[in-house]
A = this chain, B = another copy of it.
Amino acid sequence: MCQPVLVSDQRETSVCVLGLGLIGGSVVRAAADAGRTVWGYNRSSSAVVDATAEGFDAADDLPAVLQRAQREHALIVIAVPMPAVDSVLTAITEHAPDCALTDVVSVKAEMLSAVERHGLAARYVGGHPMAGTSESGWAASTADLFHDAVWVVGTEADADPIVWSQVAQLALDCGSVVIPAESVEHDRAVARISHLPHLLAEALALSGAAGGDLALTLAAGSFRDGTRVAGTAPDLVRAMCEANSTALLIALDETVEVLKAARMALAAAASTADLVTAGHAAHTRYTHRQRWDITDITPGDDGWQDALRKAGRRGGALRAL
């Protein structure tokens, strides 16, 4: 059995990464750099060949990889695309049912549901490193991808303190700071700051193009910046927005109401005062935001999950355990 055990240093826990794409590959590299014992699995053998050639421990035999995780009490990191998650969870249930489990998928509530369906929730603490590039695959992975990034660690009301600490330590070892947040809170936050920006960029691009070549000829900095992420591959934008549709719907509805109110004020009084004043104040709050260090909460103490979540809501981050 690989029951998580509280060790004096969570860094003694070995790490098993499933999926050697940009994120999973970068976890392997970063964990290895940090001195952690780490090995990986990838379904297609080309990434395995490339990783092995670079001296990393990788294989395309999922049962064997998971059986080793079970033997070595490893922390398993799910780093496959969302559509592949179910089959990976089935294999974990069979070959490594007692291992601590995390993931790097960008939407957390849907992932938590999948883990619950497979009866693995007791050992699961979700994760989301907020890092990425426009490239993908093992070849694009780097050991410093997560340096100075924020890594959300799922902090449900019933989170296991030992698993939570193992996941947080991995994030820290990869060079990130840890932001504690409940899955649903995480999804609502990224809907606002990552998925809604994509939809607004698409809508702005449409408005510009509707103005024809004259409008596009006159377009300058405000249009270029406002539409930049509309250049992202449609499949990627759809995948992340649609996986988070519940939270995105809330943010989108709010924004439609804000713009309808702005439309009324513009039609009635040729005024944009309310929107512009409030928007500028909100932007000032964003540019003046300050992350502060959470230092006084120990996983396992009474009410630690709630204390961490409250700290995360107020902009707190962990730099060390």
Is A225 touching B223 in the complex (CB atoms < 8 A)?
A: no
Is A216 touching B279 in the complex (CB atoms < 8 A)?
A: no
Residue of B nearest to A289 (CB): B216
A2 at the interface (CB under 8 A from B): no
Stretch from A70-78, A94-102, A111-119, A261-269 contacting the other chain = A261-269
* A192 and B217 in contact, given A230-B280, A283-B227 (Cβ under 8 angstroms): no
Is B231 touching A208 in the complex (CB atoms < 8 A)?
A: no
Q: With A and B bound together, what is the CA distance between A253 and B256 in angstroms?
A: 11
Residue of B nearest to A281 (CB): B209
Chain B neighbourhood of A317, CB < 8 A? 217
A83 at the interface (CB under 8 A from B): no
Interface size class of A (residues with CB under 8 A): 35 or more
Is B237 touching A272 in the complex (CB atoms < 8 A)?
A: yes
A202 at the interface (CB under 8 A from B): yes
Q: What are the 4 closest A-B residue pairs judged by CB atoms, nearest first?
A: A202-B279, A213-B315, A209-B282, A230-B283
Residues of A within 8 A of B (CB): 130, 150, 152, 179, 181, 185-186, 188-190, 192-194, 196-223, 225-234, 237-238, 241-242, 245, 248-249, 251-256, 258-260, 262-263, 266-267, 270-273, 275-287, 289, 291, 312-315, 317
